[in-house]
Amino acid sequence: MSNQTPQEELYHIQESTNADGTIDVEITDWKKKQNSAVVYFQMPDITKNKERMLWPEKDSVDNKFVRLVNNCGYDIAAVDQIIGETVKYDNESGELFIPKQKTILDRMKKISDLNIHRINPIYALCFPIVYFILLPLTLFKKDFELEGSSEVRGILVGGFFWNLLLIFLLLL
């Protein structure tokens, strides 16, 4: 039983709840038992819980325990460092939520799936119009001086050319 008032308990639950429906829990300990790793964690209402995971045979993200340690920012050789770390817990499944790590190929595929033609051309054309107005002011008007104006000029010129590229891609 916890020493918290109901209001304090509700506050901790509110603060620990994430937008995706998971809650933040704190890892309090871990132990190796037979062919598994048992991870102990504390729920927002101060109750203790644990989850048993398969002991890794190799350093692979296919293993949930390795993913947990990596997700906390450590290599498996530094597993003791996860004590005190906060991770997500899925109340519906009753398990710690450790997302699968994406490979570089998965990330590249996601980038290649980006459909640039889905951008509304009206919005994409607003940026070059602004640059057509600001660029001549900064480049040709002699009394247009601001602190750091050379950096502003560089940003505007670079942005102008990126927008020209965007217009070219939209017109393809």
Residues 79, 14, single domain; the answer is yes
CA dist 138 and 149 (Å) reads 8
| Confidence band, pLDDT 50/70/90 cuts, at residue 152 | low
User: Between these two residues, 154 and 35, which has the higher pLDDT value?
Assistant: 35
How many domains, in total, are found in the chain? 2
Averaged pLDDT of the chain? 76
Residue 15 pLDDT greater than 80, yes or no: yes
Residues 90, 153, single domain; the answer is no
Whether the model pTM is above 0.85: no
> In the prediction, which pLDDT does 99 show?
76
**Residue 109 within a domain:** no
> In the prediction, which pLDDT does 37 show?
95
